[in-house]
Amino acid sequence: MKGKAVLITGGTGSFGRRFAELVLAKYQPRKLIIFSRDEHKQSEMQTVLNDPRVRYFLGDVRDRDRLRYAFHEVDIVVHAAALKQVPMLETNPFEAVKTNIIGAGNVIDAAIECGVQKVMALSSDKAVNPINIYGATKLCAEKLFVDGNTYTGSRPTRFSVVRYGNVVGSRGSVIPIFRKQAARGILEITDKRMTRFWLTLTQGVEFVVRCMDSMKGGEIFVPRIPSMRIIDLASAMGPSCKIKHIGIRPGEKLHEVLLTEDEARHALAFDEFFVIKPEDPQWGYDEWVGGKVLPEGFRYSSDQNDTWLSSDKLLAMLDCE
C-alpha cells in the first residue's frame, strides 16, 4: 500500500480503527480515507490519530452516489461496513439487506466506475451454511464480490474476500459481555458444547493486508486460526464466577464452519491460510501455486479444528488487544 490512496468503509468500527493505526504505522499509504456514517466517531478518531494523511468522509454504503465521490482517485478499498448484531437483525431483516447486500452492490459499481484497483471485502464464518439473516446477507455479499469480477472487463478493478471467525474484543463479540458479567459474578453461556474460531483484531488486519498483496481476483481467503469452547472461554475470563446456561439464541449455531466440503474441492491449503479459488478459470483459477490440494470431504469447522486455544493463550490475546 506504499504510496497508494486507501479507503475503508465502516472505518470507525473496531476493525477500521485498528486497520488505520497499523496501516499508517507500517505501510506508508499516500492517503487513508475513513468512510463511515457516524460523525461523532469520526471526530473522535481524528483527535486520536492526528495524522495529515487521513481524510474523513461521511457517507453510507447504501448511497451509491456518495460512494462514487468517495472512490475518486482511490487505489485500494477495504469494505468493512456491515450491520452484524445477530439478534437485532433477526427483528430488522430488511435493514440488513439494505446495508449488507445492496451496500455491497453499490461498492462494486462505484469501484468499477472509478477505476479502483483492488477491493477486499470482509466476510464472516456466519456466511457459511447460514441460519440467520446476518449470515445470509454476508453469503450473498460474498457471491456479489466474487462474481463482481465478471463486470470489470478490461478495467483494472479486482474483487476478493476475506472470511474469518470471531474477533477478540470487537463489538458484537461475547468477550466484552463476559467482562461486564464477570463483575457481577455470573457468566451466561448458551450451550457448554458451543465452539468458535478466534483471532485478534491485529491478526485480522495483518491477514487482510497480506491477502490484498497476493489477490488476483475472485478468491476467498480463510485464515487457519484456533478454536475454543465457549465454556472454556467463560472459565478463563471468570474463574470464580458461577455459570448460568441460558440456551441457544435465535440464529445461533453450536459450531461454526469456515470452509465447506464443496468449497474444499476448489481450495488450496497453505501453512497459515486456505484459498478458495474462483470456479471460473478466467479469474485466475490456475494461477495459484504452492498450496496443497485438500482431501475429499475436508471441512474446516470450529469443533474439528487441529488448533485449540488454551486459557493462558486466550488471556495473552486479550492482553495484546
Question: Would you please indicate which residues are annotated as catalytic (active-site) residues?
Answer: 126
Distance between CA 233 and CA 217 in Å, rounded? 37
Scan for cell 491485529, then name that residue.
202
d(CA 219, CA 273): 12
- Give 96-103's long-range contacts (Cβ < 8 A, gap of 24+): 96/133, 96/134, 96/137, 97/133, 97/137, 98/62, 99/60, 99/61, 99/62, 100/134, 100/137, 100/138, 100/140, 100/141, 101/137, 101/140, 101/141, 101/144, 102/62, 103/60, 103/61, 103/62
CB under 8 Å to 96, separation ≥6 — which residues?
A: 83, 89, 133, 134, 137
Residue type, 24: L
Q: How far is CA 82 from CA 227, 253, 267, in A?
A: 24, 20, 26
3-state secondary structure of 189: strand
Neighbours of 58 (CB within 10 A): 13
**What is the layout of strands, in order, in the sheet containing 227-229?**
166-167, 195-199, 227-229
20 by DSSP, 3-state: which? helix
Residue 167, φ and ψ in degrees, nearest 5: -100, 125
> Using an 8 Å Cβ cutoff, are 131 and 253 in contact?
yes
